[in-house]
Amino acid sequence: MCGRFTLKNKSKIKELYDIDIEPNYNISPSSEVTVLASGPKTMKWSYSPSWAKTPMNIINARIETLDEKPSFKEAKRCIFLTDGWYEWKRWFDWERRENKKIPYYHTIDNSIIHIAGIYNSTGCAIITEQSKGDLKDIHHRQPLLLSDNEIRLWLNGDNVHSSKLSNIVSIHKVSTYVNSAKNNDQKCIEKA
């Protein structure tokens, strides 16, 4: 699952894609996000099939069922631009008899991370896959990360399952400050 991410490296996005962004440390569902499709586009991070009578507000879609589900039959391909994402590790605290969750930040040397996505006229969604390596310890799902040579493959309709980028993701615990989408500064990604 991917429910929050960052895009804060303004100079790198300008250098790579000639796009001006405002640094964002806490991008949440329903936000306007920058994606690449036939070019840079800004759209709502919330996908609904064209036939839905009421918005479905889908933010993630599983790669394993992407070609099977009617909701995604008309979807086009895009790439989410990020430089990190958050996942919450959940467990049950038996002493306190309550569910707990701790946020973790995932990044690759603070570089730009390309994540597979889909979109239509209503908005976009991140593609997820089963977590690999150390990422499994935090959450059972992760975004589908794309290396430079896999970006074009994804946009051309190929389903990419073999990216090795998960092996180089670094993870650190962050404070619950990130839990509020209103908080949007450097403190969101600081080690707790």
Can you give the residue ranges of every domain in the chain? 4-189
pLDDT band (50, 70, 90) for residue 4? very high
Q: How far is CA 117 from the centre of its chain?
A: 8
The answer on pLDDT for 1 being more than 70 is: no
The answer on pLDDT for 91 being more than 80 is: no
pLDDT band (50, 70, 90) for residue 18? very high
CATH topology of domain 4-189: hypothetical protein yedk fold (3.90.1680)
pLDDT band (50, 70, 90) for residue 162? low
Mean model confidence pLDDT for the chain: 93
The radius of gyration of the chain's CA atoms, rounded to the nearest angstrom, is: 16
Residue 43 makes CB contacts below 8 A (sequence gap 6+) with 32, 33, 35, 119, 123, 124
